[in-house]
Amino acid sequence: MANNSAIEWTDATWNPVTGCTKISRGCDNCYAERFAERWRGVSGHPYEQGFDLRLWSSRLAQPSRWIKPRLIFVNSMSDLFHKNVDIGFIDLVFDTMETVDWHIYQVLTKRSSLMKDYLESRYAVCSAPDHIWCGVSIEDHSAKSRIRHLRNSPVPVRFLSIEPLLGPVGEVNLEGISWVIVGGESGPHARPVRPEWVREIRDCCARAEVPFFFKQWGGRTPKAGGRILEGVEHNAMPKHITENTKIHVFK
């Protein structure tokens, strides 16, 4: 668990699951895999197993130790809805999020159909609580079906992480979407993002009155290109965060 996360749109990260496998071109240069594999074989290190999938029961109680409310990105180093994560373990993660309810949890996946199925089963009678946000990651127009799965999921706050943005997404139906994050790829093999792709999404958000957050242009490092789009830094958050919230949003 990391406090003071360097990720601009969250405060902290919580990883009850680590490791993953690739399912689309957005995974090609995975930052989490690159980091984890550096430590493969180092005895006693949390990533001794590299980026192999691992469930950490010992980490389930970590959010309860943070008294100050914050935004928590769930599984920044994995995907909670990986097909090899047992449903019973996902239940335990959601049990924690529901019980430790003074935080806001940001759950992000590329496995959108599995997330939808799980949420429909868990919240068959009522929607998920509004402090559990669920989102999907997409990289270009070919991944837009994930948005449909998200829209059909019984959660009050749905968000898109369009990162790494690797191609034009095209017109996006943002009905039922609470927030959109966009960012370019970073790392030694980062693929460039074109400004018109970003502007197209920004303008789509503006028409739909959906908050737009531009995370980064990307490059060799996440901060290399900055995060200014046509002279503006876009930091909009979902409308569920109000002036009365106790959540610390920005560092």
> 183: which strand partners?
216
Helix (H, G, I), strand (E, B) or coil at 202: helix
**Range 231-241 average pLDDT:** 91
**Range 178-184 average pLDDT:** 98
Residue 174 lies inside a defined structural domain of this protein: yes
Residue 1 banded pLDDT, cuts 50, 70, 90: low
Using the predicted structure, report yes or no on whether residue 171 has a pLDDT greater than 90. Answer: yes
Residue 250 lies inside a defined structural domain of this protein: no
Residue 213 lies inside a defined structural domain of this protein: yes
Residue 100 banded pLDDT, cuts 50, 70, 90: very high
What's the confidence (pLDDT) of residue 97? 98
Residue % of the chain over a pLDDT of 90: 92
Q: How many domains does the chain have?
A: 1
Residue 246 lies inside a defined structural domain of this protein: no
Residue 238 lies inside a defined structural domain of this protein: no
Range of the domain at 33: 12-233
Contacts of 147 (CB under 8 A, 6+ apart): 112, 136, 138, 160, 172, 173, 177
Mean pLDDT across the chain: 94
Contacts of 231 (CB under 8 A, 6+ apart): none
Residue 243 banded pLDDT, cuts 50, 70, 90: very low
Residue 3 lies inside a defined structural domain of this protein: no
**Range 148-165 average pLDDT:** 97
Backbone angles phi, psi at 133, to 5 degrees: -100, 140
Using the predicted structure, report yes or no on whether residue 121 has a pLDDT greater than 60. Answer: yes
> How is residue 21 written in tokens?
């496998």
**Range 219-223 average pLDDT:** 93
**Range 136-141 average pLDDT:** 98
What's the confidence (pLDDT) of residue 2? 64
What's the confidence (pLDDT) of residue 244? 39
What's the confidence (pLDDT) of residue 5? 86
233-244 burial code (b ≥16 CB/10 A, e <16): ebeebbebbeee
Residue 5 lies inside a defined structural domain of this protein: no
Helix (H, G, I), strand (E, B) or coil at 199: helix
What helix, strand, coil percent values describe the chain, rounded to 5?
Answer: 25, 20, 55
What's the confidence (pLDDT) of residue 240? 73
Residue 245 lies inside a defined structural domain of this protein: no
Q: In angstroms, what CA-CA distances link 147 with 16, 172, 177, 201, 209?
A: 25, 9, 9, 14, 17
What's the confidence (pLDDT) of residue 239? 83
Using the predicted structure, report yes or no on whether residue 140 has a pLDDT greater than 60. Answer: yes
Using the predicted structure, report yes or no on whether residue 250 has a pLDDT greater than 80. Answer: no
Q: Measured between alpha carbons, how far is 44 from 38 in angstroms, rounded to an integer?
A: 14
- Which pLDDT tens digit goes with each residue over 21-70? 999 999 999 999 999 999 999 999 999 999 999 999 999 999 999 999 99
